[in-house]
């Protein structure tokens, strides 16, 4: 049974591609858009293989309003959009803030304007981040949606905060609009088919791609940034969430927006497992789950890193009827299977 049409921006990206799979599995019609600035058409091929479906797709830049408008002209029945398309490199955003504000804000403004223009009821699911909480006060852990939003530590983080604020104001101004902001913790892993996964350009900045590339022999060793933090083993703690679990939360968020009576038109959910793991714990899980050796050493702290953060996901568990429950070893095996597939390792 078809449930309605969902526009996915950044459909060829890491989380976007996994979400398209889950939307199709759940019976939604999908229209994907992407400009491939940080993604590859191969990812869409992977999605089509997994779902055994041709996914309608338009290559365009969401910050180009004229191009983007064509999507809504062609598919006026879009019931909801999931907005993944954005730049996401924290370090680069510090070097090139204008690029980040220009792209991330403009594309959201275009999407919102096009969503409300004809007065049809529509929803937007926005990819936000736990980065909006900054360094949480230790007594606030696990961190709930009620925790204060702290001044962002990077322009990337600031675009997430600003986009949330823009959407909140637009929900107030436009009665036809509903919004769900999803604050992701640390998404990792790949689809069990190993047909889609994370594809970092250049040297990976994030932990798990660096681990899998090191295990594959592409990087000499993993550097663990800091082992003198005030945590049990001295390394930073994060809440690592399986990308397929994360993708399913988007489907649950769309279901809810299209189902509910509209009394709660702006909602925020934390998407995490509720459990924090240290860098060292994650590394040890990888080694034991895959049986692969992983050379690593300790290095100085990385500037800007948060010491420890993990989610209180109970609001999403309760209201979305969703839970991230894939065991971490399975998640890490999926990341390794994907890396091996990409590198042609048996």
Q: Which positions are catalytic? A: 156
Site string for ligand UFG, 232-261 (x = CB under 6 A): ----x-x-----------------------
- Rounded to whole angstroms, the Cα distance separating 78 from 31 reads 9
Shorter beta-carbon distance to ligand UFG: residue 115 or 186: 186
Phi, psi values for residue 4, rounded to 5°: 130, 165
Number of chain residues interacting with ligand UFG (CB under 6 A): 21
Near ligand UFG by CB under 6 A: residue from 39, 103, 107, 131: 131
H or E stretch including 133?
Answer: none
CA dist 28 → 60, 241, 345 (Å): 22, 24, 35
- Contact status: 210 vs ligand UFG (CB under 6 A): yes
Near ligand UFG by CB under 6 A: residue from 5, 18, 83, 88: 88
Residue number, nearest CB to ligand UFG: 236
Shorter beta-carbon distance to ligand UFG: residue 9 or 115: 9
- Rounded to whole angstroms, the Cα distance separating 193 from 197 reads 10
- Contact status: 297 vs ligand UFG (CB under 6 A): no
Residue 136, C-beta contacts closer than 8 angstroms, at least 6 positions apart: 143, 147, 306, 308, 309
Contact (Cβ atoms closer than 8 angstroms) between residue 315 and residue 264: no
Strand pairing of 240-242 and 57-59?
A: unpaired
- Contact status: 305 vs ligand UFG (CB under 6 A): yes
Nearest to 185 by CA among 131, 252, 229: 131
- Contact status: 90 vs ligand UFG (CB under 6 A): yes
- Contact status: 206 vs ligand UFG (CB under 6 A): yes
H or E stretch including 2?
Answer: none
Shorter beta-carbon distance to ligand UFG: residue 236 or 252: 236
- Contact status: 223 vs ligand UFG (CB under 6 A): yes
Contact (Cβ atoms closer than 8 angstroms) between residue 318 and residue 249: no
Nearest to 83 by CA among 27, 26, 163: 163
Q: Smallest gap, in angstroms, from Cβ of residue 210 to ligand UFG?
A: 4
Per CB under 6 A, residues contacting ligand UFG are 88, 90, 129-131, 157, 186, 205-207, 210, 222-225, 236, 238, 279, 302, 305-306
């Amino acid at each position: 049974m078809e449930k309605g049409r969902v526009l996915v921006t950044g459909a060829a990206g890491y989380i976007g591609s996994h979400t398209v799979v889950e939307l199709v599995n759940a019976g939604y019609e999908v229209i994907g858009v992407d400009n491939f600035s940080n993604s590859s058409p191969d990812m869409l091929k992977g999605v089509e293989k997994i779902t055994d479906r041709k996914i309608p797709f338009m290559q365009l830049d969401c910050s180009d309003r004229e191009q983007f408008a064509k999507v809504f002209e062609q598919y006026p029945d879009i019931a909801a959009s999931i907005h993944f398309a954005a730049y996401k490199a924290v370090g680069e955003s510090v070097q090139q803030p204008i690029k980040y504000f220009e792209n991330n804000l403009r594309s959201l403004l275009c999407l919102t304007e096009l969503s409300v223009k004809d007065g049809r009821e529509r929803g937007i699911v926005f990819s936000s981040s736990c980065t909006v909480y900054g360094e949480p006060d230790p007594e606030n852990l696990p961190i709930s949606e009620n925790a204060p939003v702290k001044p962002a530590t990077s322009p990337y983080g600031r675009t997430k905060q600003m986009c949330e604020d823009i959407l909140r104001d637009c929900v107030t101004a436009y009665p036809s609009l509903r919004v769900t902001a999803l604050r992701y913790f640390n998404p990792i892993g790949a689809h069990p088919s190993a047909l889609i996964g994370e594809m970092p350009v250049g040297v990976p900045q994030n932990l798990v791609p660096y681990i899998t590339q090191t295990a594959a022999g592409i990087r000499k060793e993993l550097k663990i940034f800091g082992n003198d933090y005030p945590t049990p083993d001295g390394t930073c703690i994060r809440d690592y969430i399986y990308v397929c679990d994360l993708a399913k939360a988007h489907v649950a968020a769309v279901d809810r927006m299209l189902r509910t009576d509209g009394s709660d038109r702006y909602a925020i959910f934390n998407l995490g497992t509720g459990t924090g793991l240290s860098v060292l714990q994650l590394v040890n899980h990888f080694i034991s789950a895959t049986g692969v050796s992983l050379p690593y050493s300790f290095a100085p702290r990385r500037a800007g890193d948060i010491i420890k953060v993990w989610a209180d996901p109970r609001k999403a568990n309760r209201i979305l009827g969703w839970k991230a429950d894939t065991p971490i070893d399975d998640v890490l095996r999926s990341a390794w299977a994907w890396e091996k597939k990409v590198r042609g390792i048996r």
